[in-house]
Amino acid sequence: MPGIFVKTIRVGRDAIDVHGHVNNQEYLRWMEEIAIEHSSAQGWPMARYLETGASWYVRSHTIEYLRPAMLHDEIAVYTWIAGMTDRKSPRRTLFVRCAERRQIVAQSETLWTFVNLATGRSIPISQ
């Protein structure tokens, strides 16, 4: 999957926690959503994975929160594939506030593992 995929999110009220900033769970949700959208844009929507009987499972997430995102902030979310082995692929995601000198709000990496859906076991990534 070549290139960097970008989408813009406007932070809504449902993303805000009791501390008045974006809840940590929202970053995880956004990371998964943009990964699926990026895959779909490359011709691999979820239905195609299901047809093949294999898909990607998250092995781990790492998120570094640098600044709080707030209600109504416009956030540009960038994602890209950072590598590939025979069974795993790290994906990086960068969250950038569009206003205020384009500040990085958070950065993350997800390690994805390619899995046989019938067995739940890791398998080699097919061409």
Whole-model pTM? 0.92
Q: Which residues pair with 98 in a beta bridge?
A: none
Nearest alpha-carbon partner for 87 in 54, 63, 41: 54
Q: Which residue has the higher pLDDT, 60 or 2?
A: 60
Q: Is residue 56 part of a domain?
A: yes
Tens-place pLDDT, residues 71-118: 999 999 999 999 999 999 999 999 999 987 789 999 999 999 999 999
Q: Can you give the C-alpha Rg of the chain in angstroms?
A: 16
In which domain, by residue range, is 54 found?
Answer: 1-73+81-95+116-122
Q: Is residue 107 part of a domain?
A: no
Domains in the chain, number = 1
- Give the CA count within 13 Å in the CB-facing half-sphere of 115: 13
Q: What are phi and psi of 5, to 5 degrees?
A: -105, 140
List CB contacts of 93: < 8 A, sequence separation 6 or more: 30, 31, 34, 35, 77, 78, 79, 107, 108, 109, 110
Residue 48 belongs to domain with CATH number: 3.10.129.10
Q: Is residue 105 part of a domain?
A: no
Q: What percent of the chain has pLDDT over 90?
A: 93
Nearest alpha-carbon partner for 121 in 87, 91, 89: 87
Tokens of 30: 């956004």
